[in-house]
Amino acid sequence: MTNIVKSPQVQALLDRAAGIDQDGGNPRLKAIMRDLLENLAAIIERHDISEDEFWLALGFLQEGAGEFGLIAPGVGIEHFLDLHMDAKDAEAGVSGGTPRTIEGPLYVAGSPLVDGDLTRTNDVNLTTDPDDTETLTMSGRMTGPDGEPVKDAILHVWHANSQGFYSHFDPTGAQSPFNNRRRIKLGPDGRYSFRSKMPRGYSCPPGGATEKLMQALGRHGDRPAHVHFFVEAPGYRTLTTQINFGDDPRAHDDFAFGTREGLLPVPDRSGGNPHIEFDFQLQRARSDEDEGFSERPRTAA
Ligand code: MBD
Ligand code: FE
Protein backbone atom coordinates (compact mmCIF):
# COMPACT_ATOMS: atom_id res chain seq x y z
CA MET A 1 0.00 0.00 0.00
CA THR A 2 1.25 3.48 -0.83
CA ASN A 3 1.71 5.89 2.04
CA ILE A 4 1.79 9.48 0.84
CA VAL A 5 -0.98 11.27 2.78
CA LYS A 6 1.36 12.29 5.60
CA SER A 7 4.13 13.33 3.21
CA PRO A 8 5.14 17.01 3.29
CA GLN A 9 3.97 17.42 -0.30
CA VAL A 10 0.42 16.13 0.36
CA GLN A 11 0.16 17.90 3.73
CA ALA A 12 1.09 21.17 2.01
CA LEU A 13 -1.50 20.51 -0.70
CA LEU A 14 -4.24 19.90 1.91
CA ASP A 15 -3.26 23.02 3.87
CA ARG A 16 -3.41 25.18 0.76
CA ALA A 17 -6.64 23.57 -0.50
CA ALA A 18 -8.37 24.35 2.82
CA GLY A 19 -7.10 27.94 2.80
CA ILE A 20 -5.00 27.38 5.92
CA ASP A 21 -2.33 29.76 4.63
CA GLN A 22 -4.88 32.51 3.88
CA ASP A 23 -6.16 35.17 6.27
CA GLY A 24 -9.69 35.29 4.89
CA GLY A 25 -12.55 32.84 5.05
CA ASN A 26 -14.30 31.09 7.89
CA PRO A 27 -11.79 29.54 10.34
CA ARG A 28 -14.16 26.80 11.50
CA LEU A 29 -15.01 25.81 7.95
CA LYS A 30 -11.33 25.80 7.04
CA ALA A 31 -10.44 23.49 9.93
CA ILE A 32 -13.27 21.10 9.10
CA MET A 33 -12.46 21.12 5.37
CA ARG A 34 -8.80 20.38 6.18
CA ASP A 35 -9.83 17.28 8.15
CA LEU A 36 -12.39 16.21 5.59
CA LEU A 37 -9.88 16.37 2.74
CA GLU A 38 -7.20 14.51 4.65
CA ASN A 39 -9.64 11.77 5.59
CA LEU A 40 -10.85 11.51 2.01
CA ALA A 41 -7.28 11.26 0.77
CA ALA A 42 -6.55 8.55 3.36
CA ILE A 43 -9.59 6.56 2.23
CA ILE A 44 -8.52 6.83 -1.41
CA GLU A 45 -5.13 5.51 -0.44
CA ARG A 46 -6.32 2.80 1.95
CA HIS A 47 -8.81 1.37 -0.55
CA ASP A 48 -6.70 2.16 -3.62
CA ILE A 49 -9.68 3.96 -5.15
CA SER A 50 -9.36 4.28 -8.91
CA GLU A 51 -10.22 7.26 -11.05
CA ASP A 52 -13.26 5.36 -12.35
CA GLU A 53 -14.51 4.65 -8.85
CA PHE A 54 -13.95 8.19 -7.65
CA TRP A 55 -15.92 9.77 -10.51
CA LEU A 56 -18.63 7.12 -10.21
CA ALA A 57 -19.09 8.09 -6.56
CA LEU A 58 -19.15 11.79 -7.38
CA GLY A 59 -21.70 11.20 -10.14
CA PHE A 60 -23.85 9.21 -7.72
CA LEU A 61 -23.82 12.07 -5.21
CA GLN A 62 -24.49 14.65 -7.91
CA GLU A 63 -27.44 12.74 -9.31
CA GLY A 64 -28.72 11.79 -5.88
CA ALA A 65 -28.45 15.25 -4.35
CA GLY A 66 -32.23 15.55 -4.20
CA GLU A 67 -32.25 12.59 -1.80
CA PHE A 68 -29.52 13.70 0.60
CA GLY A 69 -32.22 14.15 3.26
CA LEU A 70 -32.96 10.44 2.92
CA ILE A 71 -29.40 9.22 2.44
CA ALA A 72 -28.29 10.91 5.70
CA PRO A 73 -30.61 8.81 7.91
CA GLY A 74 -30.10 5.77 5.66
CA VAL A 75 -26.36 5.69 6.33
CA GLY A 76 -26.94 6.23 10.05
CA ILE A 77 -25.48 9.71 10.22
CA GLU A 78 -28.70 11.40 11.33
CA HIS A 79 -28.87 8.88 14.18
CA PHE A 80 -25.21 9.55 14.92
CA LEU A 81 -26.09 13.24 15.35
CA ASP A 82 -28.53 12.10 18.07
CA LEU A 83 -25.86 9.94 19.72
CA HIS A 84 -23.47 12.90 19.60
CA MET A 85 -26.04 15.22 21.21
CA ASP A 86 -26.79 12.54 23.83
CA ALA A 87 -23.08 12.22 24.60
CA LYS A 88 -22.69 15.99 24.92
CA ASP A 89 -25.71 16.09 27.23
CA ALA A 90 -24.22 13.33 29.36
CA GLU A 91 -20.92 15.21 29.55
CA ALA A 92 -22.79 18.36 30.65
CA GLY A 93 -24.78 16.38 33.25
CA VAL A 94 -28.02 16.81 31.32
CA SER A 95 -30.23 13.73 31.38
CA GLY A 96 -33.76 12.47 31.70
CA GLY A 97 -36.98 12.81 29.82
CA THR A 98 -38.26 11.26 26.64
CA PRO A 99 -35.39 10.19 24.34
CA ARG A 100 -34.79 12.20 21.21
CA THR A 101 -34.73 10.55 17.83
CA ILE A 102 -34.26 11.68 14.24
CA GLU A 103 -36.53 14.23 12.58
CA GLY A 104 -36.22 12.81 9.08
CA PRO A 105 -36.80 14.76 5.87
CA LEU A 106 -40.59 14.84 5.73
CA TYR A 107 -41.71 17.51 8.20
CA VAL A 108 -43.68 20.36 6.65
CA ALA A 109 -43.83 23.69 8.48
CA GLY A 110 -47.10 25.54 8.83
CA SER A 111 -49.52 22.68 9.53
CA PRO A 112 -52.90 23.66 11.02
CA LEU A 113 -52.66 24.80 14.65
CA VAL A 114 -55.63 23.21 16.39
CA ASP A 115 -57.05 23.63 19.88
CA GLY A 116 -56.09 20.59 21.94
CA ASP A 117 -56.94 21.98 25.39
CA LEU A 118 -58.92 19.05 26.74
CA THR A 119 -60.96 21.28 29.04
CA ARG A 120 -62.45 22.76 25.85
CA THR A 121 -62.37 20.02 23.24
CA ASN A 122 -62.47 16.25 23.11
CA ASP A 123 -61.90 15.61 19.43
CA VAL A 124 -58.61 16.43 17.77
CA ASN A 125 -58.40 14.74 14.39
CA LEU A 126 -55.27 14.58 12.24
CA THR A 127 -56.55 12.67 9.24
CA THR A 128 -58.64 14.69 6.82
CA ASP A 129 -58.48 12.42 3.74
CA PRO A 130 -60.50 9.22 3.54
CA ASP A 131 -58.40 6.20 4.51
CA ASP A 132 -59.88 2.77 5.01
CA THR A 133 -57.58 1.59 7.75
CA GLU A 134 -57.98 1.40 11.52
CA THR A 135 -58.39 4.53 13.57
CA LEU A 136 -55.44 5.15 15.86
CA THR A 137 -55.97 7.12 19.04
CA MET A 138 -53.23 8.45 21.21
CA SER A 139 -53.26 10.30 24.50
CA GLY A 140 -51.12 11.06 27.48
CA ARG A 141 -49.47 13.68 29.60
CA MET A 142 -46.73 16.20 29.00
CA THR A 143 -44.68 16.69 32.13
CA GLY A 144 -41.44 18.36 33.14
CA PRO A 145 -38.47 17.00 35.11
CA ASP A 146 -40.32 17.11 38.45
CA GLY A 147 -43.47 15.57 37.05
CA GLU A 148 -45.16 18.96 36.84
CA PRO A 149 -47.66 19.44 34.00
CA VAL A 150 -46.17 21.39 31.10
CA LYS A 151 -48.37 24.40 30.34
CA ASP A 152 -49.20 25.63 26.84
CA ALA A 153 -47.17 23.12 24.90
CA ILE A 154 -47.50 22.72 21.15
CA LEU A 155 -47.34 19.12 20.00
CA HIS A 156 -46.41 18.80 16.32
CA VAL A 157 -47.47 15.44 14.88
CA TRP A 158 -46.82 14.04 11.42
CA HIS A 159 -47.06 10.55 9.97
CA ALA A 160 -47.67 8.54 6.83
CA ASN A 161 -51.04 7.27 5.61
CA SER A 162 -51.99 3.60 5.24
CA GLN A 163 -49.91 3.41 2.03
CA GLY A 164 -46.77 4.67 3.77
CA PHE A 165 -46.97 8.05 1.99
CA TYR A 166 -46.74 11.52 3.56
CA SER A 167 -48.80 14.48 2.40
CA HIS A 168 -46.76 16.92 0.24
CA PHE A 169 -44.46 14.01 -0.75
CA ASP A 170 -47.06 11.54 -2.02
CA PRO A 171 -46.06 10.19 -5.45
CA THR A 172 -49.69 9.25 -6.18
CA GLY A 173 -50.72 12.88 -5.66
CA ALA A 174 -53.68 11.56 -3.71
CA GLN A 175 -53.39 13.46 -0.43
CA SER A 176 -54.59 16.92 0.38
CA PRO A 177 -52.18 19.32 2.08
CA PHE A 178 -51.49 18.56 5.77
CA ASN A 179 -53.32 15.25 5.87
CA ASN A 180 -51.91 13.55 9.02
CA ARG A 181 -50.12 16.73 10.06
CA ARG A 182 -51.19 19.01 12.88
CA ARG A 183 -49.81 21.30 15.54
CA ILE A 184 -51.86 20.67 18.65
CA LYS A 185 -52.01 23.48 21.19
CA LEU A 186 -52.33 21.92 24.64
CA GLY A 187 -53.89 23.52 27.70
CA PRO A 188 -52.48 24.23 31.18
CA ASP A 189 -52.84 20.62 32.32
CA GLY A 190 -50.39 19.26 29.73
CA ARG A 191 -52.78 16.56 28.61
CA TYR A 192 -53.14 15.63 24.95
CA SER A 193 -55.40 13.36 22.95
CA PHE A 194 -55.88 12.90 19.23
CA ARG A 195 -57.27 10.50 16.69
CA SER A 196 -55.78 9.63 13.36
CA LYS A 197 -55.49 6.75 10.91
CA MET A 198 -52.95 3.98 11.42
CA PRO A 199 -49.78 4.69 9.38
CA ARG A 200 -47.88 2.09 7.39
CA GLY A 201 -44.10 1.95 7.20
CA TYR A 202 -42.26 4.09 4.68
CA SER A 203 -40.15 2.81 1.78
CA CYS A 204 -37.57 4.81 -0.15
CA PRO A 205 -38.63 5.92 -3.64
CA PRO A 206 -38.14 2.98 -6.05
CA GLY A 207 -35.22 3.55 -8.40
CA GLY A 208 -33.96 6.53 -6.42
CA ALA A 209 -30.45 7.15 -5.15
CA THR A 210 -31.18 5.96 -1.60
CA GLU A 211 -32.70 2.71 -2.73
CA LYS A 212 -29.80 2.09 -5.14
CA LEU A 213 -27.31 2.71 -2.35
CA MET A 214 -29.17 0.42 0.05
CA GLN A 215 -29.22 -2.36 -2.57
CA ALA A 216 -25.51 -1.94 -3.22
CA LEU A 217 -24.94 -2.31 0.54
CA GLY A 218 -27.12 -5.42 0.71
CA ARG A 219 -29.68 -3.53 2.81
CA HIS A 220 -33.32 -2.51 2.46
CA GLY A 221 -34.78 1.00 2.44
CA ASP A 222 -37.84 0.46 4.63
CA ARG A 223 -38.96 1.99 7.91
CA PRO A 224 -41.44 0.38 10.28
CA ALA A 225 -44.65 2.32 10.97
CA HIS A 226 -43.96 5.38 13.10
CA VAL A 227 -45.37 8.71 14.26
CA HIS A 228 -43.19 11.83 14.47
CA PHE A 229 -43.34 14.55 17.11
CA PHE A 230 -41.86 17.89 17.97
CA VAL A 231 -42.79 19.22 21.39
CA GLU A 232 -42.25 22.89 22.16
CA ALA A 233 -43.30 24.66 25.34
CA PRO A 234 -42.28 27.88 27.11
CA GLY A 235 -39.45 27.17 29.53
CA TYR A 236 -38.69 23.70 28.19
CA ARG A 237 -36.23 22.23 25.74
CA THR A 238 -37.73 21.45 22.36
CA LEU A 239 -37.93 17.70 21.81
CA THR A 240 -37.70 15.91 18.46
CA THR A 241 -38.87 12.32 18.66
CA GLN A 242 -40.93 9.49 17.19
CA ILE A 243 -42.72 6.40 18.35
CA ASN A 244 -42.82 2.96 16.76
CA PHE A 245 -45.42 0.36 17.62
CA GLY A 246 -44.18 -2.01 20.32
CA ASP A 247 -46.14 -4.97 18.86
CA ASP A 248 -44.78 -4.46 15.33
CA PRO A 249 -42.39 -7.34 14.47
CA ARG A 250 -40.48 -4.95 12.18
CA ALA A 251 -40.16 -2.17 14.75
CA HIS A 252 -36.43 -2.86 15.18
CA ASP A 253 -35.63 -3.15 11.47
CA ASP A 254 -35.47 0.52 10.50
CA PHE A 255 -33.22 1.52 7.59
CA ALA A 256 -33.01 4.99 9.19
CA PHE A 257 -32.05 3.80 12.72
CA GLY A 258 -34.79 5.83 14.43
CA THR A 259 -36.05 3.08 16.77
CA ARG A 260 -35.12 3.60 20.43
CA GLU A 261 -35.97 2.00 23.76
CA GLY A 262 -38.51 4.16 25.51
CA LEU A 263 -40.20 4.97 22.21
CA LEU A 264 -41.98 1.65 21.63
CA PRO A 265 -45.44 1.91 23.21
CA VAL A 266 -47.62 -1.15 22.70
CA PRO A 267 -51.10 -0.31 21.40
CA ASP A 268 -54.02 -1.42 23.54
CA ARG A 269 -56.43 -3.17 21.17
CA SER A 270 -58.97 -4.20 23.80
CA GLY A 271 -61.39 -1.51 22.61
CA GLY A 272 -61.19 -2.66 18.97
CA ASN A 273 -59.06 0.07 17.46
CA PRO A 274 -55.47 0.54 18.58
CA HIS A 275 -55.02 3.04 21.39
CA ILE A 276 -51.68 4.27 22.60
CA GLU A 277 -51.09 5.86 25.95
CA PHE A 278 -47.76 7.68 25.84
CA ASP A 279 -46.43 10.32 28.21
CA PHE A 280 -43.83 12.86 27.13
CA GLN A 281 -41.34 14.20 29.62
CA LEU A 282 -39.46 17.35 28.73
CA GLN A 283 -36.20 18.76 30.02
CA ARG A 284 -36.13 22.31 31.30
CA ALA A 285 -34.61 24.83 28.89
CA ARG A 286 -31.23 26.17 29.98
CA SER A 287 -31.08 28.81 27.24
CA ASP A 288 -33.26 30.44 24.59
CA GLU A 289 -31.62 28.16 22.08
CA ASP A 290 -32.99 25.11 23.94
CA GLU A 291 -36.52 26.40 23.33
CA GLY A 292 -36.01 26.77 19.59
CA PHE A 293 -35.70 24.43 16.63
CA SER A 294 -32.64 23.43 14.69
CA GLU A 295 -32.06 25.54 11.60
CA ARG A 296 -32.39 22.56 9.33
CA PRO A 297 -34.07 23.70 6.09
CA ARG A 298 -37.65 22.43 6.04
CA THR A 299 -40.39 22.38 3.45
CA ALA A 300 -42.96 25.07 4.17
CA ALA A 301 -46.45 25.10 2.73
C1 MBD B 1 -39.33 8.82 6.86
O2 MBD B 1 -40.66 8.82 7.07
C3 MBD B 1 -38.54 9.14 7.87
O4 MBD B 1 -39.14 9.44 9.02
C5 MBD B 1 -37.16 9.13 7.73
C6 MBD B 1 -36.27 9.42 8.87
C7 MBD B 1 -36.59 8.83 6.53
C8 MBD B 1 -37.40 8.53 5.49
C9 MBD B 1 -38.77 8.52 5.65
FE1 FE C 1 -41.25 9.37 8.89
Q: What is the largest CA-CA distance in the chain?
A: 72
pLDDT for the residue numbered 105:
98
One-letter-per-residue 3-state SS of the chain:
CCCCCCCHHHHHHHHHHCCCCCCCCCHHHHHHHHHHHHHHHHHHHHCCCCHHHHHHHHHHHHHCHHHHHHHHHHCCHHHHHHHHHHHHHHHCCCCCCCCCCCCCCCCEECCCEEECCCCCCCCCECCCCCCCCCEEEEEEEEECCCCCECCCCEEEEEECCCCCCCCCCCCCCCCCCCCCEEEEECCCCCEEEEEEECCCCCECCCCCHHHHHHHHCCCCCECCCEEEEEEECCCECCEEEEEECCCCCCCCCCCCCCCCCCCCCCCECCCCCCEEECCEECCECCCHHHHCCCCCCCEEC
pLDDT for the residue numbered 272:
95
Give the position, in ligand 1's atom list, of the atom nearest the Cα of 78: 6
Give the position, in ligand 1's atom list, of the atom nearest the Cα of 242: 4
Separation of CA 267 and ligand 2 centre (Å): 19
Q: Where does ligand 1 bind, in terms of residues with CB under 6 Å?
A: 70, 73, 102, 104-106, 202, 223, 256, 258
Q: Give domain limits for the chain.
A: 8-70, 90-300
- Nearest-CA residue for atom 4 of ligand 1: 104
The fold for domain 90-300 equals Protocatechuate 3,4-Dioxygenase, subunit A (2.60.130)
**With contact defined as beta carbons under 8 Å apart, do 163 and 93 qualify?**
no
Length in residues, the chain: 301
List Cα–Cα distances, 287 to 99, 151, 290, 294, in angstroms: 19, 18, 5, 14
For residue range 105-139, list pLDDT tens digits in order: 999 999 999 999 999 999 999 999 999 999 999 99
| Selection from 259, 241, 242, 240 nearest residue 250 by Cα | 259
Separation of CA 23 and ligand 2 centre (Å): 44
**Beta partners for 299?**
108
Separation of CA 74 and ligand 2 centre (Å): 12
- 101 half-sphere exposure, CB direction, 13 A CA radius: 21
Give the position, in ligand 1's atom list, of the atom nearest the Cα of 102: 6
pLDDT for the residue numbered 208:
98
Averaged pLDDT, 215-220: 98
For residue range 233-264, list pLDDT tens digits in order: 999 999 999 999 999 999 999 999 999 999 99
- Nearest-CA residue for atom 3 of ligand 1: 104
Radius of gyration of the chain from its Cα atoms, rounded to whole angstroms: 22
**With contact defined as beta carbons under 8 Å apart, do 243 and 227 qualify?**
yes
Region class of 133: left (phi > 0), else alpha (psi between -120 and 50), else beta: beta
What is the C-alpha separation between 185 and 197, in angstroms, rounded?
20
For residue range 169-209, list pLDDT tens digits in order: 999 999 999 999 999 999 999 999 999 999 999 999 999 99
Separation of CA 177 and ligand 1 centre (Å): 18
Separation of CA 279 and ligand 1 centre (Å): 23
Q: How many CB atoms lie within 10 A of CB 201?
A: 19
This prediction has a pTM of 0.97
